[in-house]
Amino acid sequence: MSVAEARITRLAVERSTRGEQIRELAFRAALLFSLGFGFLALAVLLIDVLLDGASLISYDFLTKFPSQIFPERSGISSALQGTLYLMVLTAVFIVPVGLATAVYLEEYADRDRWWNRLIEVNIQNLAAVPSIVYGILGLTFIVRGALDLGAVLLAGSLTLGLLVLPVVIVVAREAIRAVPSSIREGSLALGATHWQTIWKQTLPGALPGIATGVILALSRAIGETAPLILVGAIAFVPFNPDPNPAEGQYSAIPITILSSVSNPDSDVQALASGAIIVLMAILLVMNGGAVYLRNRYEQKW
Amino acid sequence: MAQEPDNREAAEQATSSLGAPASTVDGQVQARKLEASGQKPADGREAIFDLEDVGVSYGGVPAVREVDFPIYEHEITALIGPSGCGKSTLIRCLNRMNDLIPAAAVTGKVNYHGQDLYGDEVDPVQVRKRIGMVFQKPNPFPKSIYDNIAFGPRVLGMTGEMDEVVERALRRGALWDEVKDRLKTNAFGMSGGQQQRLCIARALATDPDVLLMDEPCSALDPISTGRIEDLMLELREDYSIVIVTHNMQQAARVSNMTAFFTVELDEDEKHRTGRVVEYDDTEKVFTNPGDERTEAYVTGKVG
């Protein structure tokens, strides 16, 4: 081999070794496999539910009342309306309470005081408490006990509200914290009061984040079953919820799904698939709304 | 007098020669104080601020101490010095922005037209209505140009035609011609220099008495900086301006009075604290400084 040839075969940058290439590929394959696993599980679930329940979805299914005797003519009107009503009331409850708590903790609380730190730790822990515990809480203090509301829709939404309140508070605090301090300083330096600054600068700046958080919290609440069972939501209710939320019995979609699948009649079981599709559709709309809000209104500082 | 070879002594004389209790401050003491700190007596110059032994500490650690000088009306007073010398800390005392930091404690007296801004009965919100501030980084609100300007007058409940208020403020901020056709567009779309002039115009919209500027040009290019300096010279007619700057040429170009701060280690050499070395006419500070630390700094030997 001449000197010139040897020079040609030597490159300025060395090639990676075979081993490095294989490791790189193996790692990438492992990542793709993990992604594929989750995706596949979801796809199988969705396809299965759609195959079972798509034929049920019709205007009648959404507007008729459930029946265990005539499952083929059954609908989920009372459960759908119950769920929507629950969500509205839950939102009415968690938005002001969650927001006010977040504003207090971010803007007023002196972190050097032990009680403020205690509240913070508590809220973080509450977010991890199992939902059935909230159900027991709701049963003890809201349905019976202190508030003694009875097994009504208002009690259900208050319980669901308590369940997701920690999430709302955490998200709202993050959104408030994301408003840069330079904006607060700019406002205060103009002679605005603390409250004016919060109301006219901080909260508007944090609103997209807060709205996204509230929607995501509600989409967690909408699928909760255990606490609703405990506070007395029932399945197969043959009437729509009373406009007065402190009156009468009510149902919700997750409850309908649970009792349908545990029914021995396979036609009744099929109702569950239809109800799941409706629930998934509502969830998709809510999460889509959250994504839209975030992309459309999120403030880039 | 104050210009003795021993720098430390000179500095101490300049800054703390009169730790006089505030109750005795009358015209005579005032005159003596000016004399003692090596300044000309204020010939017909009205002091807008009179700092008496002002110190600020964060969580017990002093950041700046023994600041003792008057700031005059309708002049531009520059605070210069190396990083960490407490000049930004000090300027934030003048409109009680330090209140926002819970650990900050202010000692001494910050007299504004003879009234101690840290007196018990003083509401910081009322202080900031009279004393506006422009920050290091332009901080427009995420709103339209118009709403940025109108925010201050609105929260202060000012009456009158808002369009006129906005136009007047933007004209005073030397921004009107550039933005008059896009008042409703978001202020975030402006250049950095325009944003900073918007912040100045915003501060002027509430008709303050004093404008504090904390390194207003540090995030700007030289052309934008030049425009803001021109603007400051115009505004001097109507407002008193205090500016913190790292840029010595800027201090020399725009200010009438200059205070030079330095950083000192305290006795047990743990904490670095800012002190005033020299406070005098800008021309004198830059051409014939009374202290060699000032000279070393303004001629670029240190810092």
Closest CA to B70 of B106, B40, B95, B104: B40
Please tell me if residue B173 touches chain A, with a CB cutoff of 8 Å: no
pLDDT digits (tens, 9 = 90+) for B58-71: 988 889 989 999 99
> How far are the Cα atoms of B43, B57, B264, B297 from residue B268, in angstroms, in the given order?
42, 17, 11, 25
| Regions of chain A short of the pLDDT cut 50 | none
The two structure tokens encoding residue A143? 């349905």
Please tell me if residue B101 touches chain A, with a CB cutoff of 8 Å: no
DSSP single-letter state for residue A15: P
pLDDT digits (tens, 9 = 90+) for B21-53: 333 334 444 444 444 444 444 566 889 999 999
The 3-state secondary structure of A49-61, one letter per residue = HHHHHHHHCCHHH
- Which neighbouring-strand residues pair with B55? B107
Alpha-carbon span A15 to A130, nearest angstrom: 54
Please tell me if residue B100 touches chain A, with a CB cutoff of 8 Å: yes
Q: Which helix (H) or strand (E) holds A25?
A: helix A18-53
DSSP single-letter state for residue B54: E
The dihedral sign for the CA sequence A128, A132, A138, A140: negative
Relative to beta strand B240-244, strand B210-214 is parallel
Per-residue confidence (pLDDT) for residue B24, from 0 to 100: 36
The residue of chain B nearest to residue A206, with distances taken between CA atoms, is B142
The dihedral sign for the CA sequence B112, B118, B121, B126: positive
Closest CA to B94 of B242, B199, B256, B274: B242
User: Could you write out the DSSP letters of every residue in A240-267?
Assistant: PPPSSTTSS----HHHHHHHHHTSS-HH
The two structure tokens encoding residue B101? 């930091």
DSSP single-letter state for residue B41: -
Query: Which residues of B fall within a CB distance of 8 Å from A192?
Result: 125, 151-152, 155-156
The two structure tokens encoding residue B190? 């402006």
> How far are the Cα atoms of A223, A234, A235, A245 from residue A82, in angstroms, in the given order?
13, 10, 11, 10
User: Nearest CA to CA, how far is A183 from chain B (Å)?
Assistant: 6
Closest CA to B190 of B117, B267, B138, B244: B138
Alpha-carbon span B143 to A210, nearest angstrom: 19
Specify the pTM.
0.80
A-interface mutation test, from B58, B100, B131, B215, most A Cβ less than 10 A away: B100
**Count of CB atoms within 10 A of residue B1's CB?**
10
**CB nearest to A185's CB, from B132, B135, B142:** B135
Per-residue confidence (pLDDT) for residue B38, from 0 to 100: 43
pLDDT digits (tens, 9 = 90+) for A170-186: 999 999 999 999 999 99
Closest CA to B118 of B130, B126, B108: B108
Relative to beta strand B76-80, strand B257-265 is parallel
Placement of tokens 């909408």 in the chain: A222
Closest CA to B204 of B229, B175, B239: B239
**Count of CB atoms within 10 A of residue B189's CB?**
12
The dihedral sign for the CA sequence B277, B283, B288, B292: positive
DSSP single-letter state for residue B37: T
Domain ranges of chain A: 61-297
Q: Are A102 and A169 in contact (CB under 8 A)?
A: yes
The two structure tokens encoding residue A97? 């309470």
Query: What is the phi/psi pair of residue B185, to 5°?
Result: -85, 160
**CB nearest to B155's CB, from A185, A190, A299:** A190
| Regions of chain B short of the pLDDT cut 50 | 1-41
A289 Cβ contact list (under 8 Å, min separation 6): A215
Query: What is the phi/psi pair of residue B215, to 5°?
Result: 45, 60
Per-residue confidence (pLDDT) for residue B303, from 0 to 100: 58
CATH architecture of the domain with residue range A61-297 = Orthogonal Bundle (1.10)
**Helix and strand totals (H; E) in chain A:** 13, 0
**CB nearest to A190's CB, from B137, B151, B188:** B151
Q: Is B260 helix (H, G, I), strand (E, B) or coil?
A: strand
**What CATH number has the domain spanning B7-298?**
3.40.50.300
Report the alpha-carbon angle B66-B70-B11, nearest 5: 40
Please tell me if residue A108 touches chain B, with a CB cutoff of 8 Å: no
Domain ranges of chain B: 7-298
Closest CA to B153 of B204, B197, B96, B97: B204
User: Nearest CA to CA, how far is B138 from chain A (Å)?
Assistant: 9
A-interface mutation test, from B139, B147, B198, most A Cβ less than 10 A away: B139
Q: Is the ipTM of this complex over 0.90?
A: no
